[in-house]
Amino acid sequence: MTDIKFEKEQQVVDQLVNTFQNLSGKVKRERRIEVSVSKKLIPSVLSYVKDQLGFTHMSHMSCVDWLEDEHFELIYILWSPELKVQLLIKTLINRENPSIENVDMIWGQLNTYQREIREMFGIQFTGMIGKEEFILEDWDEMPPMRRDFDTAEFIKEAYFERPGRDGAKNVRDEIADRSGEEIPELAKKYSRD
């Protein structure tokens, strides 16, 4: 599979690597390219890719929380209608005081995506104009999509639980008790709690 060369995808990667420094990229499969760059270069990379290379459509923007490595990763997903190629641009942001520059003057829809990421992960976008409250109302705890937000604790304090739910949590143990068989070792490591 590695012998097949994807011509136009490789061309785009080469153009990007030659124009910017500290940028690494590769072709993942047909019609998909992945590029990693440091966060200071993001506004210039996005404008270059929109004007010169023809990636005029911004599909989505999302965020991944790497708790063990202690950084966030922001991913911009772009699509070019002429070349029919999808481009993923990735950056890494520090986990303490996360912030990055605002880019919604290039594409208007980034305002909505950035507001959602600000509410769910707590990343500040410097210079963005937008109301604070977007989806959650009167929320004063930690931003909920971070991995160290403990949902089980939060639910025990805030909401009621139906009586009789305790036995239903550990279904495998219940069935093993009732039928008299043992749970195999292989199945034990897939328990939820």
Partner 1 sequence: MMREKATTLYLGPQHPGITGNMMIKLKVEGDTVVNAETNVGYLHRGFEKLMERRNWLQSFTIVCRICVPEPDPNELNYSRAVEEIEGREVPERAEWIRTLVMELSRLASYLLWFGGQNGSAGLYTMPQWTVGDRDYILDLFEELTGGRVYHMYIWPGGVRRDLPEGFAGRVLETMDYLEKRLIQYDQLMFQNTIFQKRAQGVGYIDPA
Partner 2 sequence: MPNDKKSQKIVDIIQNAARKHSLFVLAYGTGCGAIEIPPTMTSKYDAERFGIRGMATPRQADVLLVTGYLATKTLKRVIRAYEQMQDPKYVIGFGSCTINGGMYWDSYNTIKLLDKYIPVDVYINGCMPRPEAVIDGFIELQGLIKDGKANGAEKYKENLDWYRANQKKVIKNWNMPDYNW
Q: Residue numbers of the site for partner 1 (CB under 8 A)?
A: 134-137, 144-145, 147, 149, 151, 190, 192
- List the one residue out of 83, 92, 77 whose CA is nearest residue 41: 92
Cα distances from 64 to residues 40, 77, 95, in angstroms, run 19, 14, 11
Name which of partner 2, partner 1, none residue 162 binds, using a CB cut-off of 5 to 8 Å depending on partner kind: partner 2
State the residue for tokens 């909401």.
159
Nearest residue (CB) to partner 2, 105 versus 155:
155
Name which of partner 1, partner 2, none residue 134 binds, using a CB cut-off of 5 to 8 Å depending on partner kind: partner 1
Should residue 143 be labelled a site residue for partner 2 when binding is judged by CB under 8 A?
A: no
Give the number of other CB atoms < 10 A from CB of residue 89: 24
Residues 6 or more apart whose Cβ sits within 8 Å of residue 59: 77, 78, 79, 86
Should residue 190 be labelled a site residue for partner 2 when binding is judged by CB under 8 A?
A: no
Should residue 162 be labelled a site residue for partner 2 when binding is judged by CB under 8 A?
A: yes
Should residue 137 be labelled a site residue for partner 2 when binding is judged by CB under 8 A?
A: yes
Question: Do strands 85-94 and 32-36 pair parallel, antiparallel, or not at all (unpaired)?
Answer: parallel
> What CA–CA distance (Å, rounded) separates 45 from 101?
13
Q: Shortest approach of partner 1 to residue 151 CB, angstroms?
A: 6
> What CA–CA distance (Å, rounded) separates 136 from 142?
12
Should residue 132 be labelled a site residue for partner 2 when binding is judged by CB under 8 A?
A: no
Stretch that binds partner 2, among 9-17, 37-45, 55-63, 133-141 (CB under 8 A): 133-141
Name which of partner 1, partner 2, none residue 190 binds, using a CB cut-off of 5 to 8 Å depending on partner kind: partner 1
Contacts to partner 2 by CB under 8 A = 136-138, 140, 144, 149, 151-152, 154-155, 158-162, 165
